Amino acid sequence: MPIYEYTCRKCEETFEALIRGGEKPSCPLCGSEDVKRLLSACGFVSKGSGGETTSRPAGSSCGGCTSSSCGGCGV
């Protein structure tokens, strides 16, 4: 069950929604179903065979993490 990011075409609210099967998301602010799915940034870090970091999101920490660097949360 993926979590997608949407923007409402009616009120321009941006929100995330957990989508199951054929469900259609609706805006949590105005209730409109006229929403557009957005492209979201990847939420994982790729590691090489020795555990070294080979890539990470540029200029930001992992999604939902309050640390300012990946070393702070052990990723």
Give Cα 26 to chain centroid, integer Å: 17
Judge whether 73 lies within some domain: no
Residue 15 near residue 6, CB atoms below 8 Å: yes
Does any domain span residue 8? yes
Residue 65 pLDDT: 62
Among 4-13, 18-27, 28-37, 46-55, the least confident range: 46-55
Contact criterion met (CB below 8 Å) for 41 and 57: yes
Q: Is residue 44 part of a domain?
A: no
What does the pLDDT read at residue 2? 80
Structural domain range at position 35:
1-39
At 10, the pLDDT band (50, 70, 90 cuts) reads very high
Among residues of the chain, what percentage have pLDDT more than 70? Answer: 53
pLDDT of residue 12: 96
Q: Give the global pTM.
A: 0.53
Q: Are 31 and 59 in contact (CB under 8 A)?
A: no
Instruction: Please count the structural domains in the chain.
Output: 1
Q: Would 69 be classed as within a structural domain?
A: no
